[in-house]
Structure 1
Amino acid sequence: MTKIRDLNPIGNIARPIGGTDLGIPFVMPNGRVGYVFGDTFGGTTQIAGGPDWRSPVIVTSPTRDMTQPIVIDGACRGGDQLWPYVHANGEFSTVLPCDVVVIGSRLYLWVMITQGLGNEKWCEIWYSDDSGETWHNGTSYATPGVGASSRWSTSAFRGQRVMMTWDRGRDGWVYAISTGGLARNKNALLWRVREADILDPAKWEGWCWLNNQWQWKANPADHEPGDILPAGARLGEIGLRWIQGHWVFSGFDAGAYEAFVRTGYGPISGVNWGTAPKLRPVRGSGLFPVGYDVQANLYGCYVHPDSKFEKPDGTKGQFVMIVSQWNGQNGQGPYRAMQYRFTAPNKLGTLLADPAPNDGGSGPISEWDPILAEILGTS
C-alpha cells in the first residue's frame, strides 16, 4: 500500500478547496472521473471548519490510468455546493454524500441529511442530467405515478439503510449495499432495483433469508433483508463497484479500524460476502502511525472504478483507494482525501470488459459515420 498524493487543497477551480473529505470516485457520462466530497471548506490548508462551508461538492479529473497520480483540473458548478441550502439551519446541519451511480447520461446521488455526526435525519436521492451542473430531488421531478419520495427513512430496516453504495449490474438492474450512519455500528444489507425504477422505494427489492434460502423480495416491510456479513460487523463508509466482471465491495471496517476490499465474481446474488476473499490494504491508528500500511485517523476507503485486476500484459494490476483522514475536531487538520495504490486482489474468473461503459460513447460523431454505418448495414 503506497500513498500517492493528497487530493486537496485544490486551488485551480473557481471556488478553491482547502479542507475536505471522502472523494467518492465515479466515472461521469463524458468519460471524466468525478470525486464527491463531503463537508468542504475554503482556504488553502487541510482544515475542517472555517470559511465557505459547502457539501456536497464534486471535482473532476481526466486521470483514468491508476498507475498515475490523480490530476484534478475541474469541478461541477465551479466547486460550489451542488444545490442551495443553509447549513446549521435548525432542522439539519449538513448534507453528506454517500455515492453516485450513472445510468445513461443521468447522475444519481444518495445523500444523508444530518444533524451532527451520527444523527442522520433522513436520506434523499438527487439527480443531474447535465453532468452535475444542476440537480433535482425525486418528488418534484419524478415521473408522475411512480410514488417516488424525497425522504427515505433512516430508521427503517433496523437503521441499516442510511449510508448507501450502488452500481449498475450491466443487466438492467442497479445493485446496492447499505449500512447504518456515522455511528458506524451496523452490518450491511443488499438491494436491487431496475434502472428505470431507482426513484421508487416500492420497486426496491431486498436480499432476504426466507424459507431457508436467500431470495429477492420487493418492498420488504414484513420480511426485512438479512445481514450479508458475519454477526458483529460494524461498518463505516462503503463503496460497491463492478470491475471487470467482479463485484468489489470496499469500505471502512470500524470494528477492526481498517479498510477492507472484498471481491465476488459473477451475479451478485451468488456472492457470499461473509466468506468472500478479503484484503486489508490500510489500517488505522492513533496520532502516531507505525508501518507503511498505517494511516492515522482513518475513514472513507473507496476503491476507484478504474482499478484493474491485471495489466494488459497479464501481470498483476493496480487498485487505487481514496482514503480520508481527520481527528473529528473542527478547526483542526489534516482534513483530507488521499490517493493510495496497492496490488490488485486475485481475479476470481475471466476478466470482462464493461459492456456499456460510461465513457460518453466512442467520441464525437463525424458526418461520415452515418454513411459508413449504411455501407456496413449497421445503421
Structure 2
Amino acid sequence: MRVTDLNPVPSADLGGGDLAIPFELPHGDVGFIWGDSFSGDGPFGPPMDGIGNWRSPIITRTSQRDPAEPIVMATSPSTDGRQLWDYQHDNAEYSTVLPCDAMTIDGRIYLWVMYTQGLGNERWCEVWTSDDSGITWARSGSKFWCGAFAGKRVMISWTKDPRSDWVHIISTGGLARNKDMLLWRAPVDGLSDPHAWQGWGWDGDDWGWDREPTPILPGWRLGEICLRYIENRAVISGFDAGDYSIFVKVGDRIDNTNWITAHTHRPVTGMPRGVDTVPRLYGGYIHPYSRLEDGKFTLIVSEWAESGNPYRATQFTCVGIRRTVQVPGPDPEPTPEPEPPPNPQLAWWQELVRRVEEWLRQRRL
C-alpha cells in the first residue's frame, strides 16, 4: 500500500531525487541516502532546464521509527541536503557518484558508492565512512573495479549478521540491470579491502565460504538490491528487471537458505497485476525498523519522472510477507525460468540511457 512520497523536502532543497536508501543512524534515527538529486523534480538528462543544483549522494533523516507511519523528514540545514563530499559532476573520469547502501556499526556509518560515466557505465566502487552521524565523510581503502567477477560486484547491499562478527553482502551488476546475485562476507575491519571479502560458492558437493562465488539467484536480471536482518531473519529485496517488479524473499540465515526456491513476494510492480503499481519503478529498499507482520514491513520504491510525473521515492507498506523459510537444496544451478516476453513498459529505460549518453557526448564536444 502506498503511504507517502518522501520528496520534495524544501528544507533540503530536494525537489526530485531517487533511492532514499533507509538505514539506522548511530543514535537510532533513520537516515535516507539519496542518489542524483535536484531542486526541481524533473528527470535527469537533457534538457536540464528547471532542475538545478545537481547533487549525489545526499542525506535526509527522521526521528520516526514506526515503519508504518508516514515518513516526515526533519532535516538540519547545516548537514542535510548538501552533497556528502565535494566533487565536480561530469568530470573527465566520471559523471556522478551513486550510493548503493549504508549501514551503521559501532557508531560508524559505512557507505558503498559507485562512480559512473553515464547510465550502465560504472567505473569503480568505493567505501566511505562517517564517525559523526553523516556530517563529515572520509574515503576508506581501495577501489573495487567493476569488471571483477563477471561484473557482478558493482551494486551491493550489506548488513551485520546479528549472530556473528561478519558483515554479509549481496552484490549484482550495475545500472544495465542484466546480472544475477552473488553472496559475500567480510570482517568489519576488512570492508574496504576487496581481498578481505569471502565468496559463498558451490564446489560440486556443497556450499561453503572463501570460494569463488556462485550465483544464489542464477539467471535473474537485477537492479537495486537490499539485504537486512529483520527479527533475526535474512530478508532480500530489490528491483527484478526481468519481471519488472519489486521482489522480497525471506530466509533464515543468509547462508542457510535456498534463495532459488524461497517464496518470492512481488508487492509492487511496474504493470497492473492486482498489487501496487508504479510505472518506471526501481529501488525497493527495506526500512530498518520493518517487522514481518502485515502493515509493518515497509519498502522505499523509486520512480523515474516522465510526462509530468515527478522524480521521487515513495514509502510502501506490504502485507503477506511470509515468515516461512527453506533450507538449501543440493543444486545451485537449476534450469532457469523461461525468458518473459518483451515488456514495452521498459522502453523508457533504454530511451533514458540513450538521452543521457547523448547529453554527455554533447557536453564533451
Q: TM-score, normalization: structure 2?
A: 0.83
C-alpha distance in structure 2 between counterparts of 1:77 and 1:252, whole Å: 30
Look up the SS of the partner of 1:8 in the other structure.
Answer: coil
Q: Secondary structure of the residue that 1:158 maps to in structure 2?
A: helix
CA contact (8 A) 2:300 2:314 kept: yes
Aligned to 1:199: 192
In 2, Cα distance between the equivalents of 1:215 and 1:302?
Answer: 27
1:52 aligns with 2:58: no
Q: Report the Cα offset of residue 35 of structure 1.
A: 0.6
CA distance in 1, matches of 2:161, 2:308: 40
**Counterparts of residues 1-379 of structure 1 (less than 5 Å):** 2-13=1-12, 16-43=13-40, 45=41, 47-48=43-44, 49=48, 50-74=51-75, 77-139=79-141, 149=142, 151-170=143-162, 171-217=164-210, 224-230=212-218, 232-265=219-252, 267-285=253-271, 292-310=275-293, 316-327=294-305, 333-348=309-324
One-letter code of the match for 2:118? G
For 1:268 and 1:296, the matched residues in 2 are separated by: 31
Are the equivalent residues in 2 in contact too, given 1:47–1:333 (CA < 8 A)?
A: no
The alpha carbon displacement at 1:12 in A equals: 2.5
State the Cα distance separating 1:46 from its structure 2 match: 5.1
SS in 2 for 1:277: coil
Deviation at 1:78? 2.9
Report the 3-state secondary structure (helix = DSSP H, G, I; strand = E; otherwise coil) of the residue aligned with 1:202. Answer: helix
> 1:24·1:99 contact (CA, 8 Å) conserved in 2?
yes
Distance 1:12 1:87 in 2: 23
Tell me the secondary structure at the aligned position of residue 247 of structure 2. strand
2 CA distance for matches of 1:278 and 1:188?
15
Q: What amino acid is aligned across from residue 337 of structure 1 in structure 2?
A: A
CA contact (8 A) 1:246 1:348 kept: no
Do 1:9 and 1:46's aligned partners in 2 also have CA atoms closer than 8 Å? no
Q: Which amino acid aligns with 2:284?
A: C
Moved over 4 A (4+): 289-292
Q: CA RMSD in A?
A: 1.8
Q: Distance in 2 between matches of 1:20 and 1:290?
A: 26
> Which amino acid counterpart does residue 105 of structure 1 have in structure 2?
G
What is the TM-score with the length of structure 1 in the denominator? 0.80
Give the distance between the partners of 2:82 and 2:309, measured in 1 at CA: 22
| Shift, 1:334, TM fit | 1.8
Contact 1:64-1:306 within 8 A present in 2 as well: yes
Between the aligned partners of 1:305 and 1:279, the Cα distance in structure 2 is 19
Q: Give the CA deviation at 1:70.
A: 0.6
Aligned letter for 1:129? D
Residues 224, 238 of structure 2: 8 Å contact kept:
yes
Q: Deviations over 1:46-65 (max 9, x none)?
A: 55452110000110011111
2:255 match: secondary structure: helix
Quote the Cα distance in structure 1 between the aligned partners of 2:319 and 2:100.
26
Instruction: Name the SS for the 1:12 alignment partner.
Output: helix
Q: CA deviation at 1:227?
A: 0.6
**Bigger Rg over Cα:** 1
Deviation at 1:333, TM superposition (A): 4.3
CA contact (8 A) 2:126 2:192 kept: no
The aligned length equals: 318
| Amino acid paired to 1:33 | V
Given that residues 233 and 255 in structure 1 are in contact (C-alpha distance below 8 angstroms), is that contact kept between their aligned partners in structure 2?
A: yes
**Contact (CA 8 Å) 2:14, 2:37: kept in 1 or not?**
yes
Verify the 8 A CA contact 2:237 2:249 in the aligned structure 1: yes
2:337 is matched with none
SS of residue in 2 equivalent to 1:270 = coil
Tell me by how many angstroms 1:325 deviates.
0.4
**1:74 positional shift:** 1.3
Change (3 A) 1:253 1:280: same
